[in-house]
Amino acid sequence: MLIENIKLAFASLSANKLRTFLTMLGIIIGIASVIAIMTVGNSQTEENARQMSMFGVNTIEVYMWLSGEVIAQDEEEYLAKMPEFKPEMMQQMVDQFGDRIEAVAVRCYLGSGQAGIEGQDITKVYANCNIMGVNPGYFTVYSSEASLTDGQLFSSKDPANDYSCIVSDRLVNNLFGGDIKKAIGSKINISINGEASLSYTILGVYLMQGMGGGIDAASEKDISTTVYIPYANAQALTTDPYSKKISNFSLAAKSSDDVIGLTEELQAFFTSLLPEDSGTQVACYNNLSWIEDVNANMRRQTMSITMIGAIALLVGGIGVMNIMTVSITERTKEIGTRKALGAPNGAIRMQFITEAIIICLLGGVLGMLLGVAAGYIVCHFVQGIPVAMSLESVLVSFLFSFGIGVFFGFYPANKAAKMDPIEALRYE
């Protein structure tokens, strides 16, 4: 009976090909827009996750600040009131959580400037750079951003006076024509914020990743990359009193499964160290929850736009209902005949619901192909991100078109099933 109904449905649909196609078009466009939106949204979400994972999913960032208005007579008093992670707090943290922490990273931004080879004209051969003081742990915590490929990390016993640096592969390209061997051990002059230049020895080279260093320059040559110097050295050099205090640092958890737990425990730990009513606050963030937040937000946006796409689908469904009503009116005599020959109401209802379902499923499949193609085009050519087909969108659209067939087919099919056979037989 089912097979019979399906055959029958195909026969009557192919008897009116243009009309069937036009009806299907509504479903095609509806499903296509939903699939396209979901594909683009999904790809975008995955791309976000991919980009954000470059920050390191194991990373936890810890901030300390003074909440509320700070009342101070002068700068000095204000500065004195600014909270900081004192060395003993850090030590206590390492004592307590050391076995769960891979590395701790602190940084001190010194400024931007230009680097040139010592003994050469800096106006001819130069590289734009930002100068940042970091501890060796920084390269572990931010390995995705700055991962040492050649040379070594800072290891001086007297870091405050250690004038060595770690530079990007691009800086090596600009200054040494890409010759890393020649670069390591060479001295470069760096002028920071337009002041007199300081001489640094290149200790190591890191590979600059996409997100590494503000790609805002007009040409490849002018791209500014980060030059890392020892943290203590930067602390000694900085003229900014705020930079001398550690108000934030990062750390990498040993296991990504521990990130959420460790974040919570650190939060509790630092909160307990702070004197009450001081107005000082500590917050620990991890990228994992941030990624989750961003993804959840992305999914919400995708869902909202999908809803708009679903309106197209609704219109398509109404089109199916409309054409089924017309088709049933046209076939009144056939329905009467079938009833006279003994078709129960249920069989008539099934016949027309099957027909509606088949229109919708055919439209659904075509719409799916069109939607995937549109999603691919948008992702690939417009946004330039890898396409992440969502299998669930395929499944959802399949079920959805089936559901539309049932929902919008039911009313006309029921109308057909309830026709009075005598009236129907008399219909011309």
Partner 1 sequence: MTDFDDSNNIIHMENICKRFYIGTENESEILHHISLDISRGEFTSIVGESGSGKSTLMNIIGLLDHPTEGSYELMGVDVLHMRDNDLSRIRNRQIGFVFQTYNLIPRMSALKNVEMPMMYAGIDQRTRTERAKELLTMVGMGEKLRNPPDTLSGGQKQRVAIARALANDPAVILADEPTGALDSKTGHLVMDIFHRLHDEQGITIVLITHSPSLAEETGRILTLVDGEFVDERRGRNAH
346 interacts with partner 1 by CB under 8 A: yes
How far is residue 337's CA from residue 114's CA, in Å, rounded to a whole number?
Answer: 91
Dihedral (CA of 141, 145, 147, 152) sign = negative
- Hey, what are 123's tokens? 């106006």
DSSP 8-state assignment for residue 69: P
341 interacts with partner 1 by CB under 8 A: yes
Q: How far is the CB of 391 from partner 1 (least distance, A)?
A: 36
How far is residue 401's CA from residue 38's CA, in Å, rounded to a whole number?
Answer: 16
Closest CA to 148 of 85, 228, 91: 228
Q: How far is the CB of 348 from partner 1 (least distance, A)?
A: 10
11 interacts with partner 1 by CB under 8 A: yes
Candidate residues 122, 283, 326, 425; the one interacting with partner 1 per rule CB under 8 A: 425
Q: How far is the CB of 364 from partner 1 (least distance, A)?
A: 24
Closest CA to 212 of 192, 228, 188, 234: 228
| DSSP string covering 249-298 | EEEEES-GGGHHHHHHHHHHHHHHHSPTTS-EEEEEEEHHHHHHHHHHHH
Closest CA to 107 of 75, 145, 77: 145
Of the candidate spans 17-25, 299-307, 339-347, 377-385, the one that interacts with partner 1 by CB under 8 A turns out to be 339-347
343 interacts with partner 1 by CB under 8 A: yes
19 interacts with partner 1 by CB under 8 A: no
Of the candidate spans 157-165, 186-194, 385-393, 419-427, the one that interacts with partner 1 by CB under 8 A turns out to be 419-427
**Total residues at interface with partner 1 (CB under 8 A):** 23
Pick the closer one to partner 1 by CB: 320 or 335. Answer: 335
How far is residue 149's CA from residue 339's CA, in Å, rounded to a whole number?
Answer: 82
Cβ–Cβ < 8 Å for 243, 253:
no
How far is residue 18's CA from residue 256's CA, in Å, rounded to a whole number?
Answer: 57
- H/E run at residue 338: helix 332-340
Instruction: Enumerate residues 45-84 that contact partner 1 by CB under 8 A.
Output: none
415 interacts with partner 1 by CB under 8 A: no
Of the candidate spans 7-15, 90-98, 207-215, 397-405, the one that interacts with partner 1 by CB under 8 A turns out to be 7-15
15 interacts with partner 1 by CB under 8 A: yes
Instruction: Tell me the sheet residues that pair with 205.
Output: 150, 167
What character string, x for contact with partner 1 (CB under 8 A) and - otherwise, covers 128-167? ----------------------------------------
347 interacts with partner 1 by CB under 8 A: yes
CA distances from 247 to 65, 88, 167, 377 (A): 7, 14, 26, 46
Of the candidate spans 10-18, 74-82, 311-319, 356-364, the one that interacts with partner 1 by CB under 8 A turns out to be 10-18
Candidate residues 81, 130, 322, 421; the one interacting with partner 1 per rule CB under 8 A: 421
3-state class percentages of the chain: helix first, strand second, coil last, to nearest 5: 60, 20, 25
340 interacts with partner 1 by CB under 8 A: yes
1 interacts with partner 1 by CB under 8 A: yes
Instruction: Enumerate residues 317-336 that contact partner 1 by CB under 8 A.
Output: 333-334, 336
What character string, x for contact with partner 1 (CB under 8 A) and - otherwise, covers 257-296? ----------------------------------------
Pick the closer one to partner 1 by CB: 257 or 420. Answer: 420
311 interacts with partner 1 by CB under 8 A: no
Instruction: Enumerate residues 180-239 that contact partner 1 by CB under 8 A.
Output: none
Candidate residues 107, 170, 338, 349; the one interacting with partner 1 per rule CB under 8 A: 338
Judging by beta carbons within 10 Å of its beta carbon (0-12, 13-18, 19+), is residue 242 exposed, middle or buried? exposed
Cβ–Cβ < 8 Å for 224, 112:
yes
349 interacts with partner 1 by CB under 8 A: no
Q: Which residues bind partner 1 (CB under 8 A)?
A: 1, 4, 8, 11-12, 15, 333-334, 336-347, 421-422, 425
